[in-house]
Amino acid sequence: MMRLLVSGGGTGGHIYPALALIEDLKEKDPTAEILYVGTSRGLESRIVPDVGIDFKTIEIQGFKRSLSLKNLKTIYLFLKSVHDSKKIIKTFKPDVVVGTGGYVCGSVLYAAARMKIPTVIHEQNSIAGVTNKFLGHFVDKICICFDHAKDDFPEKEKIVFTGNPRAQQVVKIKKSDRLKEFGLDPSKRTVLIFGGSRGARRINESALEAIKYFKGQPWQGLFVTGRVHYDKIMASPSAKDLPQNVAIVPYVNDMPSILPEISLIVGRAGATSLAEITALGIPSILIPSPYVTHDHQTYNAMSLVEKKAALMIKEAELDGQKLFDAVSELENDAELSEKMASNAKAAGVPDAADRLLSVLESLVR
């Protein structure tokens, strides 16, 4: 029986890979004991308890790049959160601790490493996040999903390519007619538009324009705005008189269950979304977020564009017409779309959860 402590959070991209790993562990070892540590402010405080996993919180905030009074408070909070993490670790007594990114796992993994408990970080992106780079010095193994991420860790001997566990979770899902829930027709080709786990304002604005032209097309659209953007989108004049073949929703719980029914994805280039897209082999139009550290989404997206597995539009060049043109180019050209789908699939890692799990097991033994 393995006792696994997991930490990671802030956004879905750091949480869903952790949940996929947990699902795989529970399947292989139903007696495994699992504890998840996050913050009360991150999306994890909602997502993790919802799926029935024990959840504890610590308080933490991110470092600013320059030294300031706020940073002194951050340093104080970091030390306090390391102290709090140690207490949680002492009580739970994990065999191994895994961090999937976000500030919160900085404290938890650092505390575990100091207590000489085996530690692993999982870096989803092609460029490593600040927390993982810091943790790279202390942990036992560094699991990556893009070769490019190797450059960010001097500790080469610790690096293992595993891919993103979410990939394995999505390949297991069977086709369903869940699109009916949104008033859509499961027999039609469906374009899914969403700006990551939190939604993206620029993508939303362009999408609202683009979906007007979906009227009369043989395909349909599912537009997911992100929870915080939904009311504003629905209140805008452009949201009136939308075509019948388009549905707009704030969030899709259990996104993987609809992915097998999707013919094209329009979205950000978050690493976990890309793991899902490649695991299933779905063509995509990627609009990387320009607001993330070291522009890592552009690098994520480029890894697919180079393999002719996706198209990329820069956010600065995005508008409704351009978005619609790209969608209709792919939806009207079956050959292009199939080629892109098979190139995407070739880049997928459908056994990523098993790979990550065996890294954990190798440290426990």
Ligand X SMILES: CC(=O)N[C@H]1[C@@H](OP(=O)(O)OP(=O)(O)OC[C@H]2O[C@@H](n3ccc(=O)[nH]c3=O)[C@H](O)[C@@H]2O)O[C@H](CO)[C@@H](O)[C@@H]1O
Token code pair at residue 106: 């900085």
Minimal distance, residue 260 CB to ligand X, in Å:
13
Q: Which is nearer to ligand X, 115 or 130 (CB)?
A: 130
Instruction: Count other Cβ atoms within 10 Å, centred on residue 56.
Output: 18
> Of 2, 242, 252, 305, which one interacts with ligand X (CB under 6 A)?
252
> Of 56, 141, 166, 229, which one interacts with ligand X (CB under 6 A)?
166
Instruction: Count other Cβ atoms within 10 Å, centred on residue 130.
Output: 15
> Of 94, 270, 281, 348, which one interacts with ligand X (CB under 6 A)?
270
- Classify residue 295 as left (phi > 0), alpha (psi -120 to 50) or beta: left
How many residues in the shown chain lie near ligand X by CB under 6 A? 28
Our finding on whether 292 is near ligand X (CB under 6 A) is yes
Token code pair at residue 323: 């978005």
Our finding on whether 144 is near ligand X (CB under 6 A) is no
Token code pair at residue 234: 């629905």
Positions 296 through 355 that interact with ligand X (CB under 6 A): 296-297, 300
Our finding on whether 14 is near ligand X (CB under 6 A) is yes
Q: Which is nearer to ligand X, 88 or 131 (CB)?
A: 131
Q: Which is nearer to ligand X, 134 or 251 (CB)?
A: 251
Q: Judge whether 261 and 190 are in contact, CB under 8 Å.
A: yes
Token code pair at residue 237: 């004049």
> Which secondary structure element, helix H or strand E, spans residue 161, and what is its range?
strand 159-161
CA dihedral 192, 193, 198, 201 (to 10 degrees): -170
Our finding on whether 107 is near ligand X (CB under 6 A) is no
Token code pair at residue 212: 């007007």
> Of 9, 13, 38, 94, which one interacts with ligand X (CB under 6 A)?
13
Token code pair at residue 250: 């704030």
Report the interface residues with ligand X, using CB under 6 A.
Answer: 11-14, 16, 101, 124-125, 166, 194, 196-198, 224, 251-252, 255, 268, 270-273, 276, 289, 292, 296-297, 300
Binding residues for UDP-N-acetyl-alpha-D-glucosamine: 11-13, 125, 197, 297
